[in-house]
A and B are shown apart, each in its own frame.
Chain A
């Protein structure tokens, strides 16, 4: 009768997908952030009053959450921007925690004070997921423009762990963090945590100050990073230290949590998204648009105008019209490629056009694999 979260999670996710029912969503509470990361895909300055004025109000978020809950939503991710810059975050979070969701919080950790942590410990989310933008103040300065952010983030991680709050750390692989894997892994291992690796950096959805494409690794550089990761894993496995890393997604890891979600259901028409996006998962932007995934800005519907349930049904219909990339489907490197309509759209402007960056990466992985076999 009772199961642990993880065991039940897969059952619920596959059930929701089969029934095309909403189960997972991300609420992007703000697009504003106190950091100015070079690779950010959606970030406005913390003092951007124009953006702030367009953000949904406390009451609007609460109304949308209630309607989303009534539409079936269970797994809710609160993300940004940086959620802790919202003055009403505490109110919103406490309300949401009374609605019957399983909540996780995505944060950069720099604004998490001891008071925040004590408060969270009294009403803990299922997980706090913190992104580390480097393993030193120097890297933080280079990547985020805020050197002290490193100390603050580490302190937040340790405070959360000390209070027994489930905490995850991950990092985004870009030029600035390219050589920091070992140091970041040490930070994780010292705390008996896995290190999540966000290996794909998407072109901007909306952000004026960043340059994700200019700061991401080339496919060859990324392959070298992955090789190094794999070598370290092998080395540590030999020392009986296992499962040290996992490849994750910058936007919403929970949408594609297990292999079973990647396998297309045999009796359903070919849906373009390999994950739950547009079938059982959705994204609400800071200004109230309902999207299948945070990387995309179309198709969108308007839950504030139509009501969440009607907007969700409309979005699902729109998503069935998104074409599958036939070339990708028939590609011999497909098993080594993480293509999806959202990534293809951001890379090429089309849902169904192969993206040279992803193609090169998959091809490089294949060449390396063959070389290893030989």
Chain B
């Protein structure tokens, strides 16, 4: 999985936001905010990663159990897939 080209993750005033670039504003009409962990996952997905990679990153960064990490990752991936933000 990889984030599609044409989106930029930016930290604005302490918040993570995803901004569509150029022609992408036509299909992604809006702006998306991400939590700290969402931004971390996004950055990993910019370089291509599997769900297992994402879980691993979350477990490394946060003190949570594997099951919760898997659920959170699945939910995150499902949302950005629904928004057509990943290949």
Interface of B is mostly: mixed
CB-contacts of B45-87 with A (<8 A): 79, 83
A337 in contact (CB, < 8 A):
no
Bound complex: CA A271 to CA B15 (Å) = 24
> Measured between C-beta atoms, what is the minimum distance from A79 to chain B in Å?
20
Contacting residue for B30 out of A4, A21, A122, A124, CB 8 A? A4
How many A residues touch B, CB cutoff 8 Å? 28
Bound complex: CA A2 to CA B15 (Å) = 13
Contacting residue for A122 out of B8, B13, B23, CB 8 A? B23
Closest to B34 in A: A1
Are the CB atoms of A124 and B19 closer together than 8 Å? no
> Measured between C-beta atoms, what is the minimum distance from B76 to chain A in Å?
8
**Residue interface bits A123-152, CB-to-B below 8 A is 1, else 0:** 110000000000000000000000000000
Are the CB atoms of A12 and B25 closer together than 8 Å? no
Closest to B83 in A: A2
CB-contacts of A94-125 with B (<8 A): 94, 97-102, 121-124
> Measured between C-beta atoms, what is the minimum distance from A27 to chain B in Å?
17
Closest to B10 in A: A100
* Residues of B close to A1: CB separation below 8 A: 32-35, 38, 79
CB-contacts of B13-39 with A (<8 A): 13-15, 17, 19, 21-23, 25-26, 30-35, 38
Are the CB atoms of A15 and B13 closer together than 8 Å? yes
Are the CB atoms of B13 and A19 closer together than 8 Å? yes
Are the CB atoms of A5 and B12 closer together than 8 Å? no
Are the CB atoms of B12 and A124 closer together than 8 Å? no
A322 in contact (CB, < 8 A):
no
Q: List 15 A-B contacts (CB under 8 A).
A: A1-B32, A2-B31, A2-B33, A4-B30, A15-B14, A16-B12, A19-B13, A23-B12, A99-B8, A100-B8, A101-B19, A102-B31, A123-B23, A123-B25, A280-B13
Excluding A23-B13, A74-B19, A97-B25, 5 further A-B contacts by CB distance (< 8 Å) are A5-B31, A11-B15, A12-B13, A19-B13, A74-B17
